[in-house]
Amino acid sequence: MPLDAFGEESVERMLNAQRIIYRRPPDPELAPARGKAPNTPEAIHLGMERKSRYRGRQGPDTSQRFRRASQILFLLLNVWIGWEFYFFVRYYETQGQTAFVARPAGVEGWLPIAALMNLKYFLLTGLIPKIHAATLFLLVAFLAISWLWTKSFCSWLCPIGTLSEALWKLGRRVFKGNLRLPRWVDIPLRSLKYLLLAFFLYAVGTMSAAAIAAFLESPYGLVADVKMLNFFRFLSGTAPLVISLLVLLSVAIQNFWCRYLCPYGALMGLAALSGPAKITRQPQRCIDCSRCAKACPSWLPVDKREAVLSAECTSCLECVAACPAAGALQMSVGRQTIVPAWAIGLGIAVVFLGVVGYAKIAGYWDTELPESIYFRLIPQAQDLGHP
């Protein structure tokens, strides 16, 4: 029925009702996030129709509780691994004068280039490498997790991602907001992480299986994990300045390192593009409040898309948590199968523990080297050059 059939008096009543709804909503969750109320008859009719079918949440959103629990547990695991590895290194640096602590193989998760080398070696030979094999299994686990649940490694597990998120939230709390770079600056900066990834893929891609084995079995390769630890133990030159600058930028700009510079995250994002799960929006239930887009740390226009297909989406579910309309926004496989936050957390745990458990049971997890090599190489790790 055309709006003219309502008559001037009916349209005026609708105008007044719509102004009241927008001017002083009974529930602050219903207040529009942008602009003023439209005052054309067509817009009023559409707005009143959406309000009439609006259904609020049945209870508080719990997605962020599950995600934060996952982040904290994995961060604590990495702190424990770092602590154990430090005392392992000290034992050999002091020639056995301190208490012996076994080497935690999980430290190899911090050797992403060795992981790419071992993956290339496995693809060429079909053999599991003997040196730093845990890197291969961790990379496979993280890629699987990112493919299944849209780059969820970055926002559910990665300790650097957790610290980066904590920094920008600190900046938002202290300075009442974060900086958002204009598109003409943001897009070129985002390309940097893909350029870094391309460089590492090219460097590893041009190596033969024999060259990879020679590198990993060289003195430098054998103690690459020790050299990584020593980089942070003995910061020198411009390293403290660069790290301080990255921290400050991460306070000011949401996920600065992850968004612009992390090649590992770039790899996870590319893997996620073909994955089955996506953030989906149901237009018939959406009330166009745009809160999802404002909540998105990756600055994605969630409110404009029915499905979010982007290498920048990390399945953090911040948009889902911000949405006030029941069923309007969710993680799902296709358009029907909803994936709740607890299922993502459980799935991540199953994949991670399953892959690591297999590597341990099959005898691939630990790098076994004679103690004499550790006693000889670890004290001079700082002086070992790249082969």
What's the CA gap between 169 and 175, in Å, rounded? 10
* pLDDT value of position 15: 40
What's the CA gap between 125 and 147, in Å, rounded? 25
* pLDDT value of position 58: 62
* pLDDT value of position 82: 97
Q: Where are the beta strands (DSSP E) in the chain?
A: 277-281, 329-333, 337-338
* pLDDT value of position 384: 86
Q: Where are the beta strands (DSSP E) in 118-242?
A: none
* pLDDT value of position 41: 53
* pLDDT value of position 39: 53
Backbone angles phi, psi at 59, to 5 degrees: -165, 175
Model confidence, pTM: 0.85
- 8 Å CB contact between 359 and 330: no
Residues in CB range of 147: below 8 A, 6 or more apart: 271, 272, 274, 275
* pLDDT value of position 17: 43
Low-confidence ranges of the chain (pLDDT < 50): 1-38, 43-46, 51-52
Architecture per CATH, domain 277-339, reads as 2-Layer Sandwich (3.30)
Please report, for the chain, the start and end positions of each structural domain, with discontinuous segments joined by +: 81-271+345-378, 277-339
